[in-house]
Amino acid sequence: MTTGLMEWGQAGSYNAPDDRRVISALVAGRSPGVVKPVVLTAGSGLNINVAAGWLAVVDCGDGTNGVIGTGSALVIPANAGDPGAPRTDSLWCDISPANGTFAVVVIPQSAETGRLGLRLATLTVPTNANLASAFTMTPVAAAYPWVPKPLPAAYAASSSSNYNPGTSLGDIPGASVTFTTTGLSTVLVLAVFDAAIATGGTNFSVVGGVVFDGTPNASQQVINQLTGAANRQTTPLLALYTNVAAGSHTAKLQAQASSGSGGVVRSPQTYITVLTIPV
């Protein structure tokens, strides 16, 4: 059999082609391009300020890819405008895979052909311009935008007043949360219903449930059965919603008396908690 090192973290040695193959595997065959675009401002004279934090994947010319970018700001000298007509230049990143280095420079766009590297921005240079502030600087847009994954989020609300449910489902005052998901998510709703029967009431049964985006679900309801004066019962309910689309959503609690009289859903002991988990 043929054996070899896994292409990451070779102990005691550095093998740049192996590392570039790892990068190629991670980009999964996608074309090289900008991940986090450059942010440019005009500096003094013909200097261009490049903010820290730009990032790109570049073709190394041998079937592998590399990553370029800086964690610190750069100052790149540009060239004055020509006397005859405007000119289009590039903020370009030259690479040397053999040396594992790169250099950010300004070149005419006509000089890009056959050059190993990647354009970071287009510079439109007016006739006779001698200040970078006269340039129009257009960063190359992200080919694969850097999208931080949203974190899980939690929301909660308690009922704001005691509720005497009627014989049809009604909203429990205050037990409602509205929230926004920025991508496909799983949503967990934890509800706690605290129901009691008042002195003088009769055997009382109350149904409590979760309503998500206006839709009640009969399989996500609980029943509190109270059988004596001043009796009280606290019941939890967990509702799960999967593949919830990005957007604004509302989860709330409702209750309904199914039999008896004199029942009350207590405040603030009745409450709703929502947990959103991006997927």
Span 41-61, pLDDT tens digits: 999 999 999 999 898 888 888
pLDDT in tens, 174-185: 999 999 998 899
Q: Is the pLDDT score of 105 beyond 60?
A: yes
Do 153-278 and 16-139 fall under one CATH topology? Answer: no
The model's pTM is 0.54
Q: Where are the beta strands (DSSP E) in 182-246?
A: 185-197, 204-212, 215-226, 232-244
146 pLDDT band (50/70/90 cuts)? low
Q: What is the pLDDT of residue 195?
A: 87
Lowest mean pLDDT: which of 55-59, 145-149, 156-160, 218-222? 145-149
Give residue limits of the domains in the chain. 16-139, 153-278
Asked if the 16-139 domain carries CATH number 2.80.20, the reply is yes
DSSP per-residue string spanning 15-49: -HHHHHHHHHHHTTTPPPEEEE---EEE-STTEEE
Distant-in-sequence, close-in-space partners of 20: CB < 8 Å, separation ≥ 6: 60, 62, 64, 65, 66, 97
**pLDDT-based confidence at residue 1 (cuts at 50, 70, 90):** very low
Which tens digit of pLDDT belongs to each residue from 60-99?
888 888 888 888 899 999 999 999 899 999 999 998 887 7
**Residue in the structure block whose two tokens are 């994947």:** 57
Mean pLDDT of the chain: 85
CA-to-CA dists, residue 141 to 31, 34, 73, 122, 243, angstroms: 14, 7, 19, 11, 30
DSSP run (H or E) holding 278: strand 271-278
153-278 CATH fold: Jelly Rolls (2.60.120)
Q: Which pLDDT tens digit goes with each residue over 5-31?
A: 333 344 455 566 666 666 766 666 677
